[in-house]
Amino acid sequence: MEQTGKKAIWQEYQKEIAEDKYYYARSCIRQNFFPGSEHAFLNILRNNLKKDLHDDAKHTTCTGIGYHSDVVPMETTMTVVARNFSLMTEAGYQNYIPSCITSFGLYTEIIETWKHFPETLEKTRDFLFKATKRTFDLPNNLAHTSDIIYKFRHEIAAMAKYKLVDVHTGRPLRIVDHIGCHYSKMFPEKGVGGAEYPYVLAGMVEAWGGETIDYPERRHCCGFGFRQYLVKANRSYSLSASRKKFESMQPYEPDFIITNCPGCPYFMDRWQYVIAETEHKVYGAGGKAIPVLTYEEMAGLVLGYNPWDLGLQMHQVPIEPLLEKMRIAYNPAEKYLGVNGKDLGKPVIPELFKYQDE
Amino acid sequence: MTDYFSQLSEDVRFQEGLNACINCGTCTAICPAAEVYDYDPRILTDMLQTRNNEMVEELLKSDMIWYCGECMSCKTRCPRNNVPGLLVIALRNLSQKTGFFTESEKGRQQLFLKRSIGEWILNYGYCVYAPHLHTSMFPELGDVWDWIDNHMDDVFTRVGAKLGKDGPGILRKIQSEDLDELKAIFDATGGTERYETIEKYSAKKAKEMGLNLDETHNNEYFLKIYNDNDKNHHEF
């Protein structure tokens, strides 16, 4: 059906997201820093939403961080990506869903490059066959894993055990979102809401009872910058960018930060830790730091998953103030235990991050 | 003199990234790197559109091309579809091919990136691999990471990961036949050659600077490129 008027104008901010049968590509960063998020995503897709998702042991990194650190040439990255597509083809799937925004941006860029420069696609096919004897099909549908949760946000809302509401006052939680630069800055039409009206996370927040804050530096980079974080000599770049965002969101007293990219929650969590330790400064209301969640963690909490199954104990900023606001049932004594209650000791808790009797 | 501009022009990212720049400065206004470094993507783009070969050579040897964080914010905002971030990627590519990257402090850092991210990709199949991350190199990993580091298998198992284990799952062991395919791709496509080029020119530069460089992460040159930051990078 042809869209007219406002619907036609907003059409370019929508995207087609496959309904089912996904080939899942894991994220290097998310697996290392937020492993519970990937575990939760699979559980939500398979157990809550009853979707078919292929979790393949054979796929590798897309080389994205190496590519954007400029140590991996474009031809190499294209061919590694082609190998991952070959594995999707081999497994009988057509809908490719990477868990990483750097990957999603890179896959998008590569597919677009292959369209605009068909000789690069042919060259990649030759390279892949020469190196591995493999062939590949392009995905029919490419979506970031947050797009999938966004697509089914109302179904998740219908199953929700908790709402994004301060149960003590009835106030919707104030949430700032950060969608990550490579989600839609390069190809705005490939992201929900584009680069100007980011809606992939805001849509989840609204569907689950919260309120999104459109703060001034909402679209500013978290500061990863690849080599700008990875090399210690450059790291002030990264800290400065996150700090700019914290200063910008502080007046709105957010209850938490929700993130799209696997790297952004790491930086927004850990740079709050660094500022607290070096300047004795925190940015949340009531002298507290602002908890930072991945969208899988937010969905998991809403669905009633155990916070420690989600891996929230691996964050540096304490998450308990948010759990209390939402009155989520949790056992503080289990926070740092291993499987079957194994005693793993406890981390040192920074002075400004101590919660209750810690 | 080698025609560096022509070499740059062969790169599809250069072709996509350079249209007619109108010098409006929107890219600079939005650029996170321009806030912390003496860096102006507008000037860089303008230098390139002069097609001046000597200027291109100067850029290839400069710190300027290493300041960008490749966030691509410039792509969204440019009213003429220029992408300084893509131009930077093309310049960095050529700077490494020619060996000019060792002429600048920021360029020399490529050796650290090759020996960390670059080697983890081929050794483990991941760009980043938790058992190699420690607060000694990345102090902001924090107190919580020291606890994770000390109990790595237990913590990762607790949250459903398969660290170093067979089969599918989070941080699973990627099997040798898959890593072999990855290596074959690197060999066929210039990835291995890039790594060797970075090592070759870095060794030459270390010698020139009178600094020790061996294959470890603990030698004078390696520690210097990882830690040193000339304050002049931030002088405006």
Tokens in use for B9? Answer: 């022009």
Tell me the mean pLDDT in the region A217-244: 97
End-to-end CA distance of chain A: 59
Residue where one domain finishes, among candidates B52, B74, B101: B101
Do the Cβ atoms of A127 and B185 come within 8 Å?
yes
Tens digit of pLDDT for each residue in A266-293? 999 999 999 999 999 999 999 999 999 9
- Residues sharing a CB contact under 8 Å with residue A343, sequence separation 6 or more, in sequence order: A337
CATH code for position B92? 1.10.1060.10
Same-domain status, B19 and B123 = no
Residues A113-140 have pLDDT tens digits of 999 999 999 999 999 999 999 999 999 9
| Predicted confidence (pLDDT) per residue in B12-22, tens digit | 999 999 999 99
Q: Which residues of chain B have pLDDT under 50?
A: none
Residues of B in contact with A236 (CB under 8 A): 36, 229
pLDDT confidence tier of residue A10, bands split at 50, 70 and 90: low
Q: What is the pLDDT of residues A43-84, one digit of tens each?
A: 999 999 999 999 999 999 999 999 999 999 999 999 999 999
CA distances from A83 to A86, A132, A145, B99, B130 (A): 5, 8, 20, 30, 24
Give residue A356's pLDDT: 67
Backbone angles phi, psi at A337, to 5 degrees: -85, 155
Among candidate residues B62, B79, B101, the one where a domain is terminated: B101
Task: Compute CA distances A7 → A11, A75, B112, whole Å.
Answer: 6, 40, 50
The residues pairing with A23 across neighbouring beta strands, listed in sequence order, are: A54, A96
Does residue B182 share a domain with residue B77?
no
Number of domains composing chain B? 2
B93 and B58, same domain (yes or no): yes
Topology given in CATH for the domain delimited by A19-145: Glutathione S-transferase Yfyf (Class Pi); Chain A, domain 2 (1.20.1050)
Average pLDDT for chain A = 96
pLDDT digits (tens, 9 = 90+) for B138-154: 999 999 999 999 999 99
Strand partners, A172: A165
Same domain, yes or no: B78 and B174:
no
Task: Give the pLDDT confidence of A155-210 residue by residue, as tens digits.
Answer: 999 999 999 999 999 999 999 999 999 999 999 999 999 888 889 999 999 999 99
**Number of CB atoms found within 10 A of residue A92's CB:** 9
pLDDT of A7 strictly over 80 = no
Domain ranges of chain A: 19-145, 152-353
How far is it between the farthest Cα atoms of chain B? 61
Q: Does A19-145 match A152-353 in CATH topology?
A: no
pLDDT of the residue at B236: 78
- Do B26 and B134 belong to one domain? no
Q: In this complex, is the C-beta atom of A123 within 8 Å of any C-beta atom belonging to chain B? A: no
CB of B228 less than 8 A from some CB of A: yes
A48 in reach of chain B (CB within 8 A): no
Interface check A191 vs B, CB under 8 A:
no
Checking if the pLDDT of A2 tops 70, the result is no
Instruction: Count other Cβ atoms within 10 Å, centred on residue A67.
Output: 28
B73 contacts A221? CB cut-off 8 A: yes
CATH number assigned to the domain covering A152-353: 3.40.50.11810
Q: With an 8 Å Cβ cutoff, are A233 and B229 in contact?
A: yes
* pLDDT tens column, B158-173: 999 999 999 999 999 9
Name the A residues in 138-167 with CB < 8 Å from any B CB: none
pLDDT band at A14 (very low <50, low <70, confident <90, very high): confident
Domain shared by B148 and B230, yes or no: yes
Give the per-residue pLDDT at B235.
85
Query: What is the residue range of B164's domain?
Result: 107-234
Helix, strand, coil % in chain A, rounded to nearest 5: 50, 10, 40
A73 to chain B: closest CA residue: B191
CA–CA separation, A149 and A154 (whole Å): 9
Count of pairs with CB atoms under 8 A, one residue in A, one in B: 260
Between the two ends of chain B, the Cα-to-Cα distance in Å is 32
Q: State the pLDDT at residue A183.
A: 96
Q: Which of B67, B101, B135 is the last residue of a domain?
A: B101
Residue A239 above 90 pLDDT? Answer: yes
Name the phi and psi angles at A156, rounded to 5.
-65, -40
